[in-house]
Amino acid sequence: MKKFIFAFSIFTHLVGSHWLDDYIASIPDFPKPGIQFKCYPDLLKNPPAFKRLIREFADRYRDSDLDCIVGLDSRGFIFGAALAYEMELPFVMIRKAGKLPRKVERIDYQLEYGTATFEIEVESLNRDDRVLIMDDLLATGGTAQAAAELVERVGGQVVEVACLIELAGLGGREKLKRPFYAPISIEVDE
Ligand code: AMP
């Protein structure tokens, strides 16, 4: 039987230290018992810290010759749109099923229970556009992997996938099989 992120999330510890650590909260037993939900409301409520984070991402990608930033529904929109604004790049959404009105490419992917569907508008990218994909957190990698495949199906090249947080030890990077970066890595202890 497939093991899922939330089943692994009972205990976690930070790998190394980072100025962002103080802004990451772990909420036990949300949305269900045994889950350690990672959230960061204090980061979003602190303009200098939020700005610093976005500027650090921008510094990382300044010389990457990006054409576009793709944000994942829904928390990837927070960081992706802010970074696109900072870098003066186009921003494109990958949304959950049924939200995009024009012609879409779609992909089903695995969630904790059952599957979900992501969609991207087929004309949202130009052929060979160099794309950065942004979400808030990488766990088992299914979400990011599905997004990368969608970007490639509509003609984009995935330069990197970036998140605020990586839950390490869940095989997310291996599943993704594309370059990945997160400033914060949190080891998940079984
Ligand atoms: P995965 O597909 O397993 O890599 O899951 C990543 C997606 O699920 C991201 O969009 C996250 O926002 C969300 N997610 C998964 N696990 C957690 C967690 N422990 N805390 C907060 N968000 C999570």
Mutation choice for ligand 1 from 112, 137, 185, CB with most ligand atoms inside 8 A: 137
Give phi and psi for 141, each to the nearest 5: 90, -5
Highest mean pLDDT among 13-22, 26-35, 94-103: 94-103
In the chain, the percentage of residues whose pLDDT exceeds 70 is: 91
Q: Where are the alpha helices (DSSP H) in 105-182?
A: 142-153, 172-176
Q: Compute the average pLDDT of residues 75-104.
A: 98
Judge if the beta carbon of residue 138 lies within 6 A of ligand 1.
Answer: yes
Q: Which residues contact 37 (CB under 8 A, 6 or more apart)?
A: 9, 26, 27, 28, 30, 31
Give the DSSP H or E segment for 24.
none
Judge if the beta carbon of residue 80 lies within 6 A of ligand 1.
Answer: no
**What digits encode the pLDDT tens for the residues 124-151?**
999 999 999 999 999 999 999 999 999 9
Specify the fold of 53-185: Rossmann fold (3.40.50)
Beta strands 137-138; 157-162: pairing state = unpaired
Q: Compute the average pLDDT of residues 75-99.
A: 98
Judge if the beta carbon of residue 139 lies within 6 A of ligand 1.
Answer: yes
**Omega within 30 of 0 (cis) for the link into 183:** no
Output the pLDDT for position 116. Answer: 96
Catalytic entry in 112, 121, 149, 187: 112
Output the pLDDT for position 142. Answer: 96
Question: What does pTM read for this prediction?
Answer: 0.93
Q: Please choose, from the candidates 89, 20, 97, 30, the residue with its C-alpha nearest in 3D space to the C-alpha of residue 9.
A: 30
Output the pLDDT for position 8. Answer: 46
Q: Mark whether 75 is an active-site residue.
A: yes
Contact predicate 37/31, CB 8 Å: yes
Q: Mark whether 86 is an active-site residue.
A: no
Judge if the beta carbon of residue 143 lies within 6 A of ligand 1.
Answer: yes
**What digits encode the pLDDT tens for the residues 152-180?**
999 999 999 999 999 999 999 999 999 99
Contact predicate 149/107, CB 8 Å: yes
**What digits encode the pLDDT tens for the residues 49-67?**
999 999 999 999 999 999 9
5 residue type, one letter = I
Spans of all domains in the chain = 53-185
The two tokens of residue 32 are 């269900």
140 residue type, one letter = T
Q: In DSSP terms, which residues pair with 124 in a beta bridge? A: none
